Amino acid sequence: MNMEESMKRSLRSVLYVPGINEKAMRKAATLPVDAIVLDLEDSVLHERKSEARDTLSRFLTANRSGFHGKYVVVRVNGRDTEFWDDDLDMVTPARPDAVLLPKVIDPDIPRNAREKLNKGGSESTAIWCMIENPLGILKLESIVENGRADGVECLVLGTNDLIKDSDIDPGEGRKNLIPWLAHVTLVAKSFNIQVIDGVLNNIHDLDALKAESEVAKAMGMSGKTIIHPLQVETVNRCFSPSVEELDHWRRIVHAYSLPENVGKGVINLDGVMVERLHLEIANRQLRDYGSDV
């Protein structure tokens, strides 16, 4: 899968799985998630980093075809760690679809990763960037604008680290974080890349998960990162179009296909004035969700 194709992928549910846990990786491959992040960073103790890299390398080499079309991502350790070079060297034989870079705070980080990936023969491997501290948000426009040439196709919000590093109280429903999340989404949309929301640590609070997911979708995010199979169904449902939404989009497309409306810019659809920009939205949504008109 090349980077252009991957941008068309649905990324509703993105599951983190420790790269040192073979049992969990095998289980993840059977779940109805859109993407799996095989993690070498936060979920692996410092003294077990090398072991995790070897485990993940063997697992992916032996089982790369067993993910049943899921988008496979490897989260490496940061550029400022001793594990950066070895983690990226593992990527070529492991053949993930993308590499997730943690704590991206300047354009040089994805550029350095791109140079190393290309040198190893992984030119088609996309780059995802974790945005998880205030400096990353402050420099985000430069990171994304320059990073597009380096294969940056997705931003992943690290809300836990963002809260930790900024001392912000997220507030009820993360209301105090909304301006920052909205800024990340705005920058991503400006450069036509996707945004994935941060995790909810309470795996049993599905009401909170639903609420966070609905807000993230309303803001224009593509999906949400999750940490447990219990969260899959809720996130997939929230980031999928409702029957009513699909019907509305189909009716707009149908209305503009009628002979009497072909040359019109604005039409009256059930008492609502609809413009051709709404037709563009409807066509895009139906295309992105793979729905037949």
Q: Whole-angstrom distance between the N-terminal and C-terminal Cα of the chain?
A: 26
Q: Is 75 labelled as part of a ligand binding site?
A: yes
Is residue 206 within a helix (H) or strand (E), and if so which, with residue range? helix 206-219
How far is residue 156's CA from residue 150's CA, in Å, rounded to a whole number?
Answer: 17
Q: Is 132 annotated as a binding residue?
A: yes
- Residue 48 marked ligand-binding: no
Residue 220 near residue 196 (C-beta atoms within 8 A): no
User: Strands 126-131, 152-157: parallel, antiparallel or unpaired by DSSP?
Assistant: parallel
Backbone angles phi, psi at 102, to 5 degrees: -85, 155
Chain centre distance of CA 212: 15
Task: State whether residue 92 is helix, strand or coil.
Answer: helix
How far is the C-alpha of 216 from the C-alpha of 78, rounded, in Å? 26
Question: Can you tell me the distance from the alpha carbon of 11 to that of 13, in angstroms, rounded to the nearest whole number?
Answer: 6
Judge residue 242's burial from the number of C-beta atoms within 10 Å of its C-beta, 0-12 exposed, 13-18 middle, 19 or more buried. Answer: exposed
- What is the spatial distance between Cα 23 and Cα 25, in angstroms, rounded to a whole number? 5
Residue ranges for the binding site for Mg(2+)? 132, 161
Residue ranges for the binding site for substrate? 75, 132
Residue ranges for the binding site? 75, 132, 161
